[in-house]
Amino acid sequence: MSGGAARRVELDPEEVGRDLASLVLTVVELLRQLMERQALRRIDHGDLDEEQVERLGLTLMALEERMAELREHFGLTPEDLNIDLGPLGPLLSTE
């Protein structure tokens, strides 16, 4: 956590950048989770052959690793990326 209330008021460029990064990463993480869920459903239904499963798995795994790196770069935790949509609940699943 860098930057307290005072820095926020001064609109520290670094802080603004971090807020923006957190928003963008949240959206990317949402898409990543949706893709993963869809991939698992297709495996459940036996829609994919072994090669396709492997390629999908590698892609999703790489995305997850990249997400972790980006989070670390901006000093964000997984919880920071979860937007609370009020009545709809949190944007991301917590598993």
Partner 1 sequence: MTYTWLYAVAPAGPDASPWQVLPEGVADEHPGTVEAADLLAVVGPVPDADFDTDALQRHLGDPQWLERAVRAHHRVVSATVGRALPVRFGTVYRDEDRVRALLTAHADEIRTALAGIADRTEWGVKAYLDRARSDGETDGAGEAGDGPGRPSDDRPGTAYLLRRRTARDRAERALADAAGQARQVHLALSDLADRSTEHPPQPAEATGVRDPMLLNGAYLVHRAREAEFARAVAGLRERHGPALRVELTGPWPPYSFAGLPTGGDAG
Candidate list 4, 6, 46, 50; residue touching partner 1; CB under 8 A: 50
Q: For residues 65-84, which are near partner 1 according to CB under 8 A?
A: 84
- Which residue in the set 60, 70, 83, 91 belongs to the binding site for partner 1 (CB under 8 A)? 60
Binding partner 1 (rule: CB under 8 A), the pick from 61, 68, 75, 78 is 61
CA distance 89 to 86: 5
Supply the minimum distance, in Å, between the C-beta of residue 57 and partner 1.
Answer: 3
Min dist. Cβ of residue 80 to partner 1 (A): 14
Q: What angle do CA 60, 65, 68 make, to 5 degrees?
A: 125
- C-alpha–C-alpha distance, residues 38 and 89, integer Å: 21
Do 26 and 91 contact (CB within 8 A), yes or no?
A: yes
